[in-house]
Structure formats: structure tokens, C-alpha cells
Structure 1
Amino acid sequence: MNIGITVYPTYGGSGIVGSELGRELAERGHNVHFISSMLPTRLVELNDRVHFHEVEMMTYPLFEHQPYDLALATKMATVARAEKLDLLHVHYAIPHSISAILARESIKQKRFVPVITTLHGTDITLVGADRSYLPITRYGLQQSDGVTAVSKFLKQATIETFDFDEIEVIPNFICPQHYQKIENSPLRRELAPNGEKILVHVSNFRPVKRPLDCIEILAKVKAKGGNAKLIMVGDGPERAACSYRAEQLNVKENVVFVGKRANIADYLGAADIFLLPSELESFGLAALEAAACEVPVIATRIGGIPEVVTDGETGFLSDIGDTEKMSDDVMKLLNDEEMRLAFGAKSRELAVSRYDSKIIIPHYIKFYEQILSQSEQKQNA
């Protein structure tokens, strides 16, 4: 198949999943064409089967804001015709599904290209649910030829918000060979030269991720006698506030901010415990990546996280903002090495048995074939 994929090329779950999906599809013999404003995150290599088409923006005095959605639609239509695409697969509903639908309609007399929209979370729970965007988001869902969601939670949230239930649940995935525990990690020795246990948080440091809670958890762990360092991977609007809060709580020397990193697996492979205190997660991709590296997860009991983290078996779940319980849970794992290792082993087992790319990618391919078959039947009717 010739597949067009559009993602936000920034540091976030939808961009990561879209990039990894394209790479996995190419490895299985499909041709993948990424259509975006810049090279998507984690897309580090282009080859005969992985192509990139940059969306060019027009600068014109009349436009206070550059019309990216229209530029994207134009590029999608151009690539679809030139490369004879079989389908367009867009990640994140707004504006990608609308742009893809516009592209499909603009060229349908020459070539019909079905549109598949994958919902990742905030495109539905925050952006799409806003009253000003709700009608156009519902239209995007209804006019897509196929819709998928990354968790059962997100499917249910979409049904409740948009009264739309024609949704296939295809969860996020990991490559077990890429995400695994690293024995005698040199990075671990660098980050914790004095033998401290390593707590890791990975996010885009937006308020919804509650990175400040990680600082609070560390401070409480230190007060309870825990010998730990907190490694904060990523960057975003809450970064400075986290640094200031660490200084206020006298744990600045125990917090390391490493910024955005491509080698996330190296940090997870060297970690002892992963912190994910978010107030909203439709799936929790970072938690899955940590689990695959045999790292127990301390997280909030919200959204799709319970589908990834089994409370009391692969990690511990708490209410939003309950940093006291989260710090207690960290201490349980720090004080009981046997429990921590058992949780880690079970995490890896469940991550691989449920979310291995060898299981999930064929699910996507089967869905593609189903949509293409349905579209062909409609065209011939």
C-alpha cells in the first residue's frame, strides 16, 4: 500500500506513535509518505519506503495567521495524486482530519483517497470538546472513512462527547527490542554516581502532565529517608516552575533536567521507578515504554492509564494530586527490592504480550484493508 501519514511533528504521543507506525509499516513492505510542516519526531531516517513531504506556508500581509490547515490540505491532495496514495491516515482530529477530508473531496473525480483519523486524547477531551470546535470535530469524525482510538477510555469519551461510536480501538505499541532494561548502564552511573535510585519523568511539561507533582513526590521521598534522584526528560511551559520548586524544597541537587532527548529508551532502561502524575492521559504511552523496560509506574488512576498499569501488580495508582500516597508507593518499591523487581518483570511481560508492535501493526493493516474494501464498494455502487 501507499500510505500518507500526517502528525504533529512535535514532542508528544501522537507524533511519536505516527512516526513509529510509519517506520513499522515500511519495514513490512509498504510505502509511507509523511506530510507535515517539519520532519516528525523520532523519524530519523528516510529511505526508499519512507518519504517526507514538507507543507509550505504562504506569507501574505492579509493573513494575520498563516492558514496551515489549507496549506496542509493542498499538500495532501498534491501528494495523494502524485504518489498514487491508497489512503490518508491522520493523527489528531483537529485540524488534520478536516484538512484530509478537504483534500479527499478536492481530488475525488481523479482519485478517491479514503481518510482514516486516529484519536489520541486531547484532540477529543480538550480541543474537540470545546464548544467552539465541537461541531467541526464531530464533522471530521463523521466524514472520515474510518476512525480509531488508542484506548477503550478514549472511545467511550468520544461516544459521550460527540454521540459517535463507529470507532475501532487500536492501542499504542512498543518495539520490545528497542525498549528493554539496560544492565550495567553507563548512563545510570553518570546520573546516579553515588548509587541513588533513579526516578524518571518524561513529558512535554504541560500543566496537564503535572510535572510539579514529581518534584513534590521527590521531596517527600527524601523526607522519608529515600535515597533517590529525579531525572526529568523533556521540556515545556512548566520546566522553569519545576526548577524553582525544587530549589524551594531543597532538592535541587537531586533533580536533573536533561531536556528533550531522542534516546528515551536509554533513560527508561536505566530507571528504577517511573512517575506519571498526569491529570489526563488517554493512554499513557510513556508508561507503556517504561513498563517495557521493566520499570514500575507510579501514576494517577485516570483515563486510559489503568489499561496500561495494573495497580498493585505492575505499579501503583493514586488520585490526582495525591503526592503523599505516591511518595509512599515509591518508598514501598525502594524499600522492597524483591517487590520492585517482580513489578518490573510483570510490567515487561504484560507490555510485550499486549502491546508488541508485532501484534498491533497487523491490526492497523487489517483496518486499512477493511476501509479500502468498503470505499471500493461505495465507489462501485
Structure 2
Amino acid sequence: MNSEKADNKKVCYVITLPDLGGAQSHVYEIMAGMKQYGYEAVLLVGKRGWLTEKADELGIRTYVIESMAREISPVKDLRAIYELRSILLQEKPSLVHCHSSKAGIVGRIAARLCNIPNVFTAHGWAFTDGVQPGKRFLYRNIENLVGYITDKVICVSEYDLALGRKYLPAHADKMVAIHNCIPDVTTNLVRDWDKAEKREFLNCIVVARFTQQKRNIEIMYIVREILDSGKNIKVTFVGDGPEFEKATLVADNLQLGENVVFLGARTDVAELLPNFDVFLLLSNWEGFPISIIEAMRAGLPIIASDVGGVKEAVKDGVNGYLVHKNDTDLVGILSSLSENYEIKAQFGVQGRRDYQQYFAVRNMLEKVEFVYRCILRK
């Protein structure tokens, strides 16, 4: 039996939603990258979508558990645990790797019921700063309980590692920080600042869903203020979400016209990024946004909220600017950048260097595989 477990390198990846996003991109890169280390991947997800399509392209077996919904529902959650347990008993993996809060809970419970070791990646704790107090209290207590049946917790930033150790001290020794990393792109997908057009306006891109987490609607008021000051700016939003329609109404009410563009959800972000001058991301809370790493990879300067692990990628005044949650200086920052081509180029080139040194995908894969080996050796 021990020999059989040692030879088995099958990992079941459990995540709630398949929609294109940071956590889903991360799972895709892990599933694809672990193959080089001899691991077989199986995907368990709440419904079909972008991630299941990518899994199909990789030839990865996929199970859809419709009862594994994002909202808390005791009946559905118990059903999801039962269905997950049945699949795990059938697949007999050596390890279960859970992602996102809901899948992280039901997936770890199902793994323990099958006596299979598990690891949980926290893509930003559900009890992080900025989340509503009631939800923070609930999820902190749930994570504390589930922590007792968890073998290892991967935090995607040093910030989240410190937060987890602070609020979940009983499980501090199980936690490790591994930054989100992504594969490189060809040079034609990196902005060439020597040849880039010197525009008379600041051309910004925002890659973020329209949710309570993101401050996309606030950006529109900032655009209006900059335009009223006599400066010119254009912001393109990539992403959808529950507040998308509200955002389009706000843009109409502010009479932003062609100065704000909505592209909706896109799968060609890497191709879009080099066409812009600045990457902008305002958030109420974050774990460690992959969208920022994508922008650094493309050679763009970053302007982002100083929340979560953002400062571990964005160095203020070096490859971009950090904005405090209620910072009123953002209008000034954007206005000054519109007139300073050299600073934009300097920040963009440095961001590209930082990506290559710290956030290339090989760094993440080596560290995750080491976590797998440590668990399986037990």
C-alpha cells in the first residue's frame, strides 16, 4: 500500500468557479506545469467555463459538481462534500489541492473523509482587510476549524502569510508563501518604449471584474475630474461582473464618451497590454493580483492600491506608484504621468526586469512541487 501511494502522483484540483480570473489562471498554470514533474492532474469545479475549456485542451479529466456554489448553503455544501468524496474515492489521488474559499472548505473536508492529504491555496484570505466585518469573523472561524484537517496552506503573498499566522496561530507552521507567477511571452507582446507612440493623452488599461472588491466605478469619477482640469486621459476597462451595467450607466451620466471604453471579458489580455501607457488597478482588498504581474511582464508602469500583497510587486517610485486606499493624489499622479514619457518608460522597463527576476512561472512551479513532495514524503 505504501509503495502504491509513493508511485501515485495524481493530484485533484478543486475550485469553485471556472470563470477567467486570477485564481483560475493560477490553477491552469499549476496543472499544466506539474506535468513536467510527473504529476497527473484532475479538475473538480462547480460548473463549466474558461478553466474547463483550458483543461480539455490539456487533456485533463474534469468533473463538474453543480452543488459546489459560491454562496453558503448547508444543504448544497453537504451535497458537494458527498459528491467530492465519491469522486475522490473513484480517482484515488495522492493529493488534493484546493483553491478559493468555498472549494477550499468542502474540498478539504472531502479529502479528509477519504484520508487523502490536502493543500489549500488562499488567493487572498476571506477575512482580509476591506471585507465586511461579519464575513471576516465567519470565515476566520471556519478557516480555523478546517485548518486542523489541512496538511499545508500556500499563501500567494507575504502579506497573506503574515495575516494567516496572525489570525490562525494554531496553524502557522503549516503556512508558506509562494507568489503567483506566470509564463513569459514573445517580445512582440512586450511594449517597446523606444518605438512607442508619444501620445497627447494618457492611455490607461484596467483589467478587473466589476465587483465590490474593485474600485472601477471610482476611476470614472477620477477620469471626469482630470478631464475637467483640462488634461486628457482615456481608460479602457477589461472585465465583466455584477456591477458592469451600473458602471456603464455611471459613465453615461458623467458624459465620459470615448474617454472610457468597456471591452467586457477578454481572453487576449496579453495582446492588448502593449498598446497602453499605464496599467491601473484600484482595489478595496487583494491577495496578490496576477493582472499586475501580467502588466509588468508586458513592460507597463503600474498604478495600484496599496492593499494586500500588491507592494510585493509594485515598488513605489521604481516600477510604478502605490496609492493608499483613500489617497486623493491619484489625480495628480495620472496628470503628471500624461506629460512625462521618460518616467513611464523607466517604470515600464524596470517592471519587465522585476517580472523576469521574481515572477517567471518556473519559480512558482519549483516551490509548489517542493510542497507536494514534502506532503507525500509523510
Q: Which amino acid aligns with 1:219?
A: R
Match of 1:2 in 2: 10
Using the aligned pairs only, state the percent identity. Answer: 24
The answer for the alignment partner of 1:53 in structure 2 is 63
Q: Secondary structure at the match of 2:136?
A: coil
Cα displacement (A) at 1:56: 4.6
What's the TM-score once normalised by structure 1's chain length? 0.84
State which of 149, 153, 159 in structure 1 corresponds to 2:155.
Answer: 149
RMSD of aligned residue pairs (Cα, Å): 2.8
Distance change in 2, residues 1:181/1:221 (3 Å): farther
Moved more, 224-233 or 295-304: 224-233
TM-score, normalised relative to structure 2: 0.85
1:364 and 2:368 aligned: yes
Contact 2:126 2:136 in 1 (8 A): no
Question: How many pairs align?
Answer: 357
Deviation at 1:66, TM superposition (A): 8.1
Within 2, Cα distance between the matches of 1:288 and 1:77?
Answer: 35
Contact 2:203 2:276 in 1 (8 A): yes
Work out whether 1:136 is the aligned partner of 2:142: yes
Residue type matched to 1:172 in 2? N
Q: CA offsets, 1:234-254, max 9 Å, x none?
A: 112332332233233331321
Q: Which residue of 2 aligns with 1:262?
A: 267
Instruction: Say whether residues 1:342 and 2:337 are aligned partners.
Output: no
1:124 to 98, 102, 127: 127
Partner in structure 1 of residue 180 of structure 2: 172
Cα displacement string for residues 21-78 of structure 1 (whole angstroms, at most 9, x for unaligned residues): 21222355421111012235345332565221111549xxxxx968443343233333
Q: For 2:236 and 2:58, how far apart are their aligned partners in 1?
A: 38
Q: 1:47 to 1:203 in 2, by over 3 A?
A: closer
Distance in 1 between residues matched to 2:190 and 2:279, nearest whole Å: 13
Deviations 1:248-301 (A, max 9, x none): 333132111111112222222322111111121121221111111111111122
3-state SS of the aligned residue for 2:347?
helix
Unaligned runs of 5+ in 2: 1-8
Quote the Cα distance in structure 1 between the aligned partners of 2:94 and 2:57. Answer: 19
CA separation of 1:316/1:170 partners in 2, compared to 1, >3 Å: closer, same or farther? same
- 2:5 is matched with none
Deviation at 1:309, TM superposition (A): 0.4
Distance 2:58 2:24 in 1: 21
- Judge conservation of contact 2:52–2:62 (CA < 8 Å) in 1: no
Q: Which of 1, 7, 13 is the aligned partner of 2:22?
A: 13
My pick for the range that moved more, 341-350 or 163-172, is 163-172
Residue matched to 2:106: 99
Query: Is there any run of 5+ residues in structure 1 with no aligned partner, and where?
Result: 59-63, 375-381
CA contact (8 A) 1:88 1:114 kept: yes
User: What is the one-letter code of the residue matched to 1:201?
Assistant: V
2:48 is aligned with what amino acid?
Answer: L
Aligned CA distance change for structure 1 residues 44 and 105 (closer, same or farther; 3 Å): closer
Q: 1:178 to 1:207 in 2, by over 3 A?
A: farther
Q: CA deviation at 1:129?
A: 5.6
**Alpha carbons of structure 1 residues 72 and 352: separation in structure 2 relative to 1, 3 Å:** farther
Which residue identity does 1:352 align to in structure 2? Q
Which residue does the alignment assign to 1:377?
A: none
* Structure 2: distance between partners of 1:67 and 1:264: 38
Contact 1:3 1:85 in 2 (8 A): yes
